[in-house]
């Protein structure tokens, strides 16, 4: 079996910040803790990149975006 034949999965859900539906690796996507219950909510690439620009302008470190954050996850890692 080649790598192309290996099953993969992706999660799909709304971005916590803009509400746009997007696909992501549930183990790697940047996320925000929801107030009150601590549930982590996914953030799309556009929103996290915009947030990082603002963070850098404010003298803060950017949020690290893992290379696999918006890529398929091998099914056996789910």
pLDDT at 57: 98
> What domain range includes position 72?
9-77
Instruction: Evaluate whether residue 4 is within a structural domain.
Output: no
pLDDT at 6: 85
Instruction: Evaluate whether residue 3 is within a structural domain.
Output: no
pLDDT at 3: 62
Query: Average pLDDT, stretch 52-65?
Result: 97
- Look over the chain and give the mean of its residue pLDDT values, rounded to a whole number: 93
Query: For the purposes of burial, counting CB atoms within 10 Å of the CB of 69, is it exposed (0-12), middle (13-18) or buried (19 or more)?
Result: buried
Instruction: Evaluate whether residue 38 is within a structural domain.
Output: yes
Total-model pTM = 0.85
**Number of domain units in the chain:** 1
In whole angstroms, give the CA distance from residue 71 to residue 23: 8
Instruction: Evaluate whether residue 1 is within a structural domain.
Output: no
pLDDT at 62: 97
Which pLDDT band, with edges at 50, 70 and 90, does 38 fall under? confident
Instruction: Evaluate whether residue 21 is within a structural domain.
Output: yes
Per DSSP, the three-state class of 46 is helix
Per DSSP, the three-state class of 32 is strand
């Amino acid at each position: 079996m080649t790598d192309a034949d290996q099953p993969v999965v992706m999660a799909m859900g709304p971005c916590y910040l803009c509400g746009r539906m997007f696909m992501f690796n549930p183990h790697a996507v940047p996320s925000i803790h929801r107030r009150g219950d601590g549930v982590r909510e996914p953030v799309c690439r556009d929103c996290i990149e915009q947030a990082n620009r603002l963070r850098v302008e404010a003298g803060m470190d950017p949020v690290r975006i893992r290379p696999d954050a918006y890529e398929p996850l091998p099914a056996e890692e789910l």
